Amino acid sequence: MRFIVIALVCAVPMLALGNETLASKVIRIPLNQNEPAIVKVGTGGITTLEFPYKIEALDGYGFSVSPSPDGGADLFQISFNKGTNFLSLKALRDGVEGNLTVVLDGKVYCLFCTSVTDPSFVVVFEDSSQKAVNTPRDVVVKNKPVSPARLLGFLDKVKAYPSLKVSAPEIFQNMEVAEPNSESSLEGLKVTLRRVIRDERLDSLGFDVELANQSDQDFLYDPECFGVRVGDEVYPAAISDAGGLIEGRKTMSAFFVVAGTATGGRNDLAVTNKFDIVMRQVVGERDSKTTTPRPESPDGVPTAQQDSSKRALPAAQSRRTPGQLTAADDKKPRKPHGRRKKSSAPSGEDDATQPNGQERKVARQSDE
């Protein structure tokens, strides 16, 4: 019995020492472009490197996926699959050294790989800019609403994407872009979602929509009431640039930006979601296709009209700020959710009669 007790007492420190030794095999290193990171690699096993971003490119002398049997100039065996954020290394001989260049998020990082007898099992590279905030001030800064000026700038980039992609592609380097070209319909209006662009820093998505009037009648809509539906949730536009009128057999473009959620939280929406375009049709006929000229005073300066009973036509290229937002669907409270890779939405149309006699409609994706 005494020997058993002594054996147990001695085994506990040895077990704790073994756990500490294994724990040291997994290390974390901050990403740093100014200094190469040292990676300890062994000949008897692999060392896996994990990065915070997908690996865009690799370059290094002596690193081979299929090293030659006789060794030759190969120093390390590397295992890597395109589109992933990790790779594995194994030294082919003792004492070999080599530098490996890794491109992450458009930035170049250098790794100094060396063969040792006590290698690391896993090396996790961390991005210091993505560390969690700790102080109340940092929390306030991180959750600070996006200013209207920044949203306007993002909207201009969405509008000018075809030309900027050629002349200044670096603008969209850290943005996600998708071109679904999905179609839906609404009262003789064909709605085509041409492009979706996400700016992660703003937690905002920009939408480029083509509106084609397939009827002979003019189509009136509220240019300030765009939005998108993802599943059961509706995200209203924070700012838009649209005309409000599409003449018969004409095609026009509309642009709008969805920023965060209606409750002020993050939306974290991926550009690969299935988006249903939400817009409000203005029910009623136009008063006239021609505007009444404004009377002028004797000195040639236009004066205000006395008859203000006629309803004005929607102004072309109307821009709106977050403070002018009108919710596109207020039947149920909205709740923030994580980024969705794919969402399904029921087909059909949602109609709701407004106090001013207008109708709210949702353009649905057609099964084509």
Domain boundary, last residue among 104, 129, 154: 129
The answer to whether 254 and 161 have CB atoms below 8 angstroms apart is no
Same domain, 90 and 238: no
Asked whether the CA dihedral 134, 140, 146, 149 is positive or negative, the reply is negative
Written as one letter, the residue type at 306 is Q
Predicted pLDDT at 148: 92
Same domain, 328 and 180: yes
φ and ψ at residue 127, rounded to 5 degrees: -95, 115
Q: Which of 101-110, 270-279, 318-327 has the lowest mean pLDDT?
A: 318-327
Range of the domain at 72: 25-129
Predicted pLDDT at 173: 87
Q: What is the DSSP string of 47-59?
A: EEEE-SS-EEEEE
Same domain, 62 and 196: no
3-state secondary structure 188-251: CEEEEEEEEEEECCCCEEEEEEEEEECCCCCEEECCCCCEEEECCEEEECCEEEECCEECCCCE
The answer to whether 98 and 78 have CB atoms below 8 angstroms apart is no
The structure's pTM equals 0.46
Predicted pLDDT at 262: 77
Predicted pLDDT at 268: 87
Same domain, 170 and 112: no
* Domain harbouring 54, CATH code: 2.60.40
Predicted pLDDT at 214: 95
Mean predicted confidence (pLDDT) in 61-75: 85
118's tokens:
């006590």
The answer to whether 128 and 30 have CB atoms below 8 angstroms apart is yes
Same domain, 123 and 177: no
Encode pLDDT of 174-213 as tens digits: 899 999 999 999 889 999 999 999 998 899 999 999 999 9
Going from the C-alpha of 244 to that of each of 218, 260, 317, the distances in angstroms are 10, 24, 8
Same domain, 105 and 161: no
Domain boundary, last residue among 74, 94, 129: 129
pLDDT band per the 50, 70, 90 thresholds, residue 2: low
Domain boundary, last residue among 129, 161, 182: 129
Encode pLDDT of 70-117 as tens digits: 767 899 999 999 889 999 999 998 999 999 999 998 899 999 999 999
Predicted pLDDT at 76: 93
The CB-side HSE value for 300 (13 A sphere, CA atoms) comes to 0
The CB-side HSE value for 132 (13 A sphere, CA atoms) comes to 1
Average pLDDT across the chain, whole number: 77
164's tokens:
């900027």
Encode pLDDT of 249-263 as tens digits: 999 999 999 998 877
Q: How many domains does the chain have?
A: 2
318 has a pLDDT exceeding 50: no
Same domain, 119 and 172: no
Same domain, 194 and 325: yes
Q: What angle do CA 336, 342, 346 make, to 5 degrees?
A: 85
